[in-house]
Chains A and B, each alone.
Chain A
Amino acid sequence: GDSVTQMEGPVTLSEEAFLTINCTYTATGYPSLFWYVQYPGEGLQLLLKATKADDKGSNKGFEATYRKETTSFHLEKGSVQVSDSAVYFCALSQGTNAGKSTFGDGTTLTVKP
């Protein structure tokens, strides 16, 4: 079945540091790929998405590129802020599979001033 493996945390960075959170997936077919973010005490919300190979999703300074050849969707940001402290989830969704999504275990990011 489908699976998502993402970088274990927690990750602690200083403000303005460069962020990379690795995500690789296993899936048949051509899934859509997502990064969701969960701020403290809140539900998950979509951060960015990509629906086909070589697509780049971007939002709030974060980027991720759908790499089919390496089955990866790594999240990057050039300069993190304290407000980026959150839990980040990589996920995939197939058109089939009854609408279900597959999530990674989440990576906790803490950004210190």
Chain B
Amino acid sequence: DAGITQSPRYKITETGRQVTLMCHQTWSHSYMFWYRQDLGHGLRLIYYSAAADITDKGEVPDGYVVSRSKTENFPLTLESATRSQTSVYFCASRDRVSNTGELFFGEGSRLTVL
């Protein structure tokens, strides 16, 4: 199906474990983003990517790693999960050519770190 998909939708893990959240988009959008959503903080940008093999830090990158070897995939890895990383994570993409900057979001991955 066309669109942007995230997996897993729900994940429970323990402190110290590595977790990878997957994001896949079918539009060949250049830009991709990872946000986390926490009560009282709105959406905060973790990492973003302007193209394959180009990534950069956002507002709250500590404790996270990203890669983008293919345009359509943008996985987010928590190398050693902490309780403060319990959150809902959203992946988003947008077209470089579009001059309006509209973002397309996945349905989110709810992560609980025990």
Contact = CB atoms under 8 A, between A and B. Distances in A.
Interface of A: 31-32, 34, 36, 42-46, 49, 51, 89, 91, 93-95, 98-101, 103-106
Given A98-B50, A98-B56, A43 B101 contact: no
Contacts of B102: 32, 34, 46, 49, 93
Contacts of B58: 100
A99 B50 contact: yes
Contact of A99 (B31, B40, B105, B107): B31
A93 B43 contact: no
Contacts of B42: 89, 103-106
Interface of B: 30-31, 33, 40-43, 45, 48, 50, 56, 58, 90, 92, 94, 96, 99-108
